[in-house]
Amino acid sequence: MPPFPPVTNRALSILLAGAHRTGTELAARAGLKPGTISAYTSGRPKKVLSMDNLFRFAALFGIKPPAVLEALLLASHLGPDAEMGRAALIAKLGRLTQELVEARLPQLLHESRLREDRRRASELWKGLSDCSAQDWRTVLTEMPKLVSWAVCERLAEQSADTASDDADRALELAELALWVAGQVKDEALRRQCEAYARGFLGNTRRVRSELRIAEEEIDTARRLWQECEAGAASHPLLLDGSRLLDLQASLRIAQRRLAEARGLLAQAAAQAAPGLPLGRVLIIDAYALELMGAYGGAVELLRRASRLLPENEVRLRCVVRFNWMVNLCHLGAAAEAGRMLPGLRTLAARIGYGLDQVRLRWLEGRIDAGTGQTQRAVEALSSVRAQFADKQIRYDEALVSLELAGLYLQQGRTEDVKRLVRLMAPVFEAEGVHEEAQKALGLFRRAVELEALTLEMVRRLVAYLYRVQHNPDLRFEETL
């Protein structure tokens, strides 16, 4: 007769069934291969599940310690153990309970307190999300018991989520997070919060293209965090230090220092916990690869990241799918990207940010262009170009304009290409469009004036401008 699965392995199977989850889903949440979980839950398990991993896996689905203990009790009643006498069964459960109390319960209680702090911060955010920073300060000053490290963390993370759509609001939230950090009573925890909030304050400065100030803030954040790490033996770290590394990497990308960015991301990946923290690092690393022209590598990282993100992380799941589809377009796989569009539209609708909708429309236009639906692509890109022009987002306006010019050429509309060049006049003098990009755009304008523009030239100009945006040392002549 084959050996019967250990109690902890059986308990895991019970918990998965009770939560209506599969081993594949658990593996994705834990960042493991599906075979790892089946090695625990199969009828003839290859591995014995430790008590620590049982509680860790349960927590990934929000299953609380009492439910895990109930599963252990039920598992002990199943199979050969059911033949045990009552006294032996009680003794077996007693040993399991003693192991829990001595080796795991203190940590579980600590983690439970952290989850409760975050839950309260989430509820506070829901109630005050539309309020000004001054209103927040008033509420927290009058009700100091609401101040916590988790409120600082929540405000900081909200600033990052808001940054791509409303940089001013993101800055307000990051500054508010720093103010909350200063109100935390415990000195060691206050230092952690200040380091964390300063990192996000630097991130909002990056989004606003204030790169010098961003570097100062993030450097200060890293220095403060290193001091916190030095004292971690007596004051455990509650916040995620790997987050500061990925924020610094995002700054390096904006500074066009892609190799340094990837080095920082490698450090962050080594420190990041499985699930959301590691998934976020992979998303940023994929973006760095995209800017380096390594589109296949970017797709692979995004595929990995998609398996790590929880269902409720709508914003990041939207980012993953969007970036994945952009890279597929770069690889000439527009049809494959098109099959992913319905899911992206659903996610984007749940977020509702205005600029995200413009970029989604841009992506739809590129997919239409890549699948031969030229007129639909023209309509989409014309709308996007006008919106970027209105918002004075000049670099993206230039990219869309070039893509639109290529479509006009396909349709034989040379007069529309000339009209487009006239509309692009502000782009040729815009700040933020650096010298090498200006040279490429100048060549485009001259080619139009001489009626020498070709579709191949447009394609190569577009590919170049995508890469040179974050690598100004890439000379245009070398790409032709």
**Percent share of the chain, pLDDT over 90:** 48
Give residue 18's pLDDT band: very low, low, confident or very high (50, 70, 90): confident
Q: How confident is the model at residue 302, as a pLDDT?
A: 97
* pLDDT at residue 445 tops 90: no
What is the four-CA torsion angle of 250, 254, 257, 263, rounded to 10 degrees?
A: 0
Distances (CA, A) of 210 to 297, 334, 336, 447: 30, 35, 37, 35
What is the rounded distance in angstroms from the CA atom of residue 106 to the CA atom of residue 102? 8
Residue with tokens 């909002």: 204
Pick the more confident residue, 43 or 271: 271
**Percent share of the chain, pLDDT over 70:** 86
Pick the more confident residue, 435 or 419: 419
What is the four-CA torsion angle of 275, 280, 281, 282, rounded to 10 degrees?
A: 80
Pick the more confident residue, 414 or 342: 342
Q: How confident is the model at residue 78, as a pLDDT?
A: 56
Q: How confident is the model at residue 470, as a pLDDT?
A: 60
Give residue 363's pLDDT band: very low, low, confident or very high (50, 70, 90): very high
Q: At what angle do helices 435-449 and 455-468 cross, to 10 degrees?
A: 170
Q: How confident is the model at residue 112, as a pLDDT?
A: 73
CB-CB contact of 409 with 453 (8 Å) = yes
Q: How confident is the model at residue 366, as a pLDDT?
A: 93
Give the torsion sign (CA, 254, 256, 259, 260): negative
What is the rounded distance in angstroms from the CA atom of residue 476 to the CA atom of residue 480? 7
Q: Which two tokens stand for residue 398?
A: 């230039």
Pick the more confident residue, 150 or 33: 150
Pick the more confident residue, 44 or 67: 67
Q: How confident is the model at residue 98, as a pLDDT?
A: 57
Q: How confident is the model at residue 290, as a pLDDT?
A: 92
Model-level pTM? 0.71
User: Mean pLDDT across the stretch 401-415?
Assistant: 89
Q: How confident is the model at residue 111, as a pLDDT?
A: 74
Q: How confident is the model at residue 479, as a pLDDT?
A: 39
User: Mean pLDDT across the stretch 460-469?
Assistant: 74
Q: Which two tokens stand for residue 185?
A: 């009573």
Give residue 55's pLDDT band: very low, low, confident or very high (50, 70, 90): confident
- pLDDT tens digit sequence for 94-147: 555 555 555 555 665 677 788 889 999 999 999 999 999 999 999 999 999 999
What is the rounded distance in angstroms from the CA atom of residue 108 to the CA atom of residue 114? 10
Instruction: Measure CA 136 to chain center.
Output: 27
User: Mean pLDDT across the stretch 419-429?
Assistant: 77
- Enumerate domains of the chain plus CATH numbers: 7-120 (1.10.260)
Q: How confident is the model at residue 345, as a pLDDT?
A: 92
* pLDDT at residue 370 tops 90: yes
* pLDDT at residue 215 tops 90: yes
Phi-psi label, residue 236: left if phi above 0, alpha if psi -120 to 50, beta otherwise: beta
Give the torsion sign (CA, 249, 469, 282, 257): negative
* pLDDT at residue 85 tops 50: no
User: Mean pLDDT across the stretch 463-474?
Assistant: 68
Q: How confident is the model at residue 122, as a pLDDT?
A: 93
The whole-chain average pLDDT of the chain stands at: 85
245 burial via Cβ count (<10 Å: 0-12, 13-18, 19+)? buried
- pLDDT tens digit sequence for 393-402: 877 888 888 8
What is the four-CA torsion angle of 206, 211, 216, 217, rounded to 10 degrees?
A: -10
What is the rounded distance in angstroms from the CA atom of residue 287 to the CA atom of residue 131? 33
What is the rounded distance in angstroms from the CA atom of residue 367 to the CA atom of residue 376? 10
User: Mean pLDDT across the stretch 23-50?
Assistant: 82
